[in-house]
Amino acid sequence: MAKKAAKKAKTKSAPKKKQPASKAAKKKVSKATGKSAKKSTGKSAAKKKASKSPAKKTVAKKAVKKTTAKKSTAKKVAGKVAKKAPTKKAPPKKATKKKVAKKAPAKKTTAKTATSSAADDITTPTVLTSPSYKCSPQKLPSKDFPKGTGGADFRCYGPPATTDGAFENVRICDMGCFTQDGKDSNKYYHGSVVQDKNTDNWYAYFEWGRTGASFPSFQFVACESEADARDVFARQLHAKNDKRGEWVTIANIRTLRAKKGKDCYLVRPQAARSTGLPDAKSIKSNEGAKEQPKKKSTKKKSINVDPQTHSLMKDLAIATIAYTRGSMADSSLPTQVAIDDARNILAEAQERLIKVGDEVKRQVKDKKVMQLTTLMYSRIPKRKPVGAEATTWILSTDNILTWQNDLDAFESALYSSDIEHEIDDDPFAGMKISMEWISPDSNDGQFLYNWWPKATGNRHSYIGKMKIRNLWRVDRHDDAGKIPKAQKTILADKPKVKERPEYQPKARLDLSTKERKVFKDSNTGLLFHGTRSVNVSGILREALRLPKQLVGVVITGAMFGPGLYFADDWKKSAGYTSIHSSYWAGGSGVVKGRDAFMFAADTVLGEPFVAPSWGGYTEPPKGHHCIYGKSGTSGVQNNEFIVFNPDQNRLRYLIEFTTT
């Protein structure tokens, strides 16, 4: 019996090879041992146990090994050893409890930090490593809120994800999958780290469905702490993103391409979102912004403008934001970085279209064009019906111009997003511009109201007669000195001007006598530029701009390459505006309660090159200063003038008009 007991005790105690505990830990162990021994052997045994030295323990162990010991002695020794076995198990358990107890204050601190403002969280993100869980996160049933809560009971945090594969230092993310297994899908996936406002409990929240779905699926994952929630959040997004793709570089953008047989969700950088819980809409971050957000000040600086200008700028800003949200499948606002990426993608697509050719059917079937289109929609999730004909949305020659105009409108919306709050103080939303409404009865008003409607050859009689509603003088501060500089450069070439724009005023009553001579010698005309109403504020802010890369491809609506287009006939320009009968714009991009808009710009033409036919020009031939698409010669119905140097034009006037 003694041998069996000794053997049993030895078996139990043998595996317990652990590092020596600290003195404090040993004292706690001995106290815990005393309590357990008290129940079986009484107070004397407990005292004996407490006072026992390490040397006595060694003797006790040797006693167990003796085979000649008496039965009663063996039983006592075996009993002592048996009591020691649970005593050795106790410290780890006790230490675990203490360790958990120590977590409590840290948890409170985390909660306090998390409840700080979203702006603070965006500027100082915390780097976290994957935690070791006390218990596994608990997934709630799909479409179920935690008990006693609703969507408004949760607080969301930034910063938002803007790059594929980088989720550890962010707390909200929007992703999209444009195609799945080669099929048109246009789905989205949203993830966020959220906190119950009432209980301070942490959750990872996920939402998914078709882009723009009214009733998407969602799921909460209950977590022990913010660190746990962030780990669940990051692991799930990696699983949807870089775990399913392989890294490639397209249009100088490092991105993911879905692995064979996988669908891969790509990050959609958004300045503002409509997906996720209600509080997600409060997370705003315009990565790559051209100007810093205004700091709210108690002192309000009002800019004095006339009522007509004030009303115009407010209407344009609100309409541009509404147009952008309405164009997006999920009502979001893309970031500046996303828009810049999209412009690079457009340039790459145009390079590809030169190789593919003008036939749209070939463009639709081209894998590279489709790849660029997929990347475009991952950056800018424009609305597109599932199953729509590819010719309506692929980056073909028919759709490039619409994309260019939309990107300009989207960028304008970014910098007007707070206009509802700032309009009373600054109707220009930070634009470096001066505008003045011109009365029809003033000298300039009489001159322009009389000349503008008559400046046409009436080749598009279906448009009708022009009726000017409002007229403004425009002065972009950044454009000061552009025209005199361009005129000086061109006059130095001593141009022999053979071609001039038609329908020009007999005398520029808005110029001085000296200016009129320089304008004539340099062949500077007052030409028209029509645009959709939602693009007006963007042009006022940025001026007419060239693409970042001048690609010599002919696209629909821009038959002579990627330059700045002007007309000497207002009916030609009207085709690009938001009037209901416009040819190129199709009446899109309207501003509620407003008519169509058109600019008149001083444009330095110098010696025009008459194009023998349309083509993808990126600059005029040597000895010339612009491309002239001449009616009856260049394959066009109306005259078009294309310049490739932005300094050769300056916005002068803006009209709001209708046709009868």
Q: What is the DSSP string of 21-79?
A: PPHHHHHHHHHHHHHHHHHHHHHHHHHHHHH--HHHHHHHHHHHH-SSS-HHHHHHHHH
Beta pairing partners, 189: 175, 208
Can you give the pLDDT at residue 51? 42
Q: Is residue 598 part of a domain?
A: yes
User: Do residue 408 and residue 439 come from a single domain?
Assistant: no
User: Do residue 272 and residue 355 come from a single domain?
Assistant: no
> Cα–Cα distance between 220 and 144 in angstroms, integer?
8
> Cα–Cα distance between 77 and 62 in angstroms, integer?
10
Can you give the pLDDT at residue 456? 96
- What sign does the CA torsion over 226, 231, 236, 242 have? positive
With beta carbons less than 8 A apart as the criterion, state whether 94 and 28 touch: yes
With beta carbons less than 8 A apart as the criterion, state whether 592 and 315 touch: yes
Whose CA is closest to 417, among 279, 309, 317? 317
Quote the tokens at residue 334.
Answer: 């893309």
* Domain boundary pick from 392, 418, 444: 418
With beta carbons less than 8 A apart as the criterion, state whether 539 and 651 touch: yes
* Exposed/middle/buried for residue 298 (C-beta within 10 Å: 0-12, 13-18, 19+): exposed
User: Do residue 313 and residue 255 come from a single domain?
Assistant: no
Can you give the pLDDT at residue 341? 93
* Domain boundary pick from 85, 101, 126: 85
User: Do residue 336 and residue 251 come from a single domain?
Assistant: no
* Domain boundary pick from 388, 418, 448: 418
Quote the tokens at residue 365.
Answer: 């079937």
User: Do residue 540 and residue 616 come from a single domain?
Assistant: yes
Using DSSP bridges, classify how beta strands 466-476 and 649-659 pair: parallel, antiparallel or unpaired: antiparallel
* Exposed/middle/buried for residue 613 (C-beta within 10 Å: 0-12, 13-18, 19+): exposed
Beta strands in 181-279 (DSSP E): 183-196, 202-210, 217-223, 245-250, 253-258, 266-267, 270-272
> Cα–Cα distance between 575 and 582 in angstroms, integer?
4
The stretches in the chain having pLDDT less than 50 are 1-134, 293, 295-298, 419-423
Q: Is residue 124 part of a domain?
A: no
> Cα–Cα distance between 145 and 130 in angstroms, integer?
26
Q: Is residue 27 part of a domain?
A: no
Beta pairing partners, 433: 476
Q: Which residue has the tokens 């005398």?
A: 507
User: Do residue 414 and residue 446 come from a single domain?
Assistant: no
Q: Is residue 650 part of a domain?
A: yes
> Cα–Cα distance between 413 and 210 in angstroms, integer?
25
> Cα–Cα distance between 351 and 335 in angstroms, integer?
25
Give me the CATH number covering residue 345: 1.20.142
**Helix locations, 290-332, DSSP H:** 307-327
Q: Is residue 115 part of a domain?
A: no
Can you give the pLDDT at residue 68? 42
User: Do residue 68 and residue 149 come from a single domain?
Assistant: no
The number of CA neighbours under 13 Å toward the Cβ of 223 is 26
Can you give the pLDDT at residue 555? 67
User: Do residue 495 and residue 624 come from a single domain?
Assistant: yes
Largest CA distance in the chain: 133
Q: Is residue 50 part of a domain?
A: no
> Cα–Cα distance between 273 and 333 in angstroms, integer?
7
User: Do residue 151 and residue 203 come from a single domain?
Assistant: yes
Q: Which helix (H) or strand (E) holds 178?
A: strand 172-180
Give me the CATH number covering residue 496: 3.90.228.10
With beta carbons less than 8 A apart as the criterion, state whether 277 and 153 touch: no
User: Do residue 333 and residue 378 come from a single domain?
Assistant: yes
Q: Is residue 577 part of a domain?
A: yes
Instruction: Give the count of domains, the chain.
Output: 4
Quote the tokens at residue 296.
Answer: 């709210």
Q: Is residue 40 part of a domain?
A: no
Quote the tokens at residue 459.
Answer: 């080749």
> Cα–Cα distance between 156 and 277 in angstroms, integer?
8
Whose CA is closest to 270, among 421, 158, 147, 129? 158
**Helix locations, 52-146, DSSP H:** 54-65, 71-114, 118-123
> Cα–Cα distance between 399 and 377 in angstroms, integer?
14
Can you give the pLDDT at residue 415? 83
With beta carbons less than 8 A apart as the criterion, state whether 279 and 156 touch: yes
Enumerate residues 6+ apart whose C-beta is below 8 A from 411: 336, 339, 538, 542
User: Do residue 511 and residue 651 come from a single domain?
Assistant: yes
Residue 266 is part of which domain span? 138-282
pTM, to two decimals:
0.73
User: Do residue 549 and residue 644 come from a single domain?
Assistant: yes
> Cα–Cα distance between 470 and 452 in angstroms, integer?
12
> Cα–Cα distance between 541 and 431 in angstroms, integer?
6
> Cα–Cα distance between 376 and 371 in angstroms, integer?
9
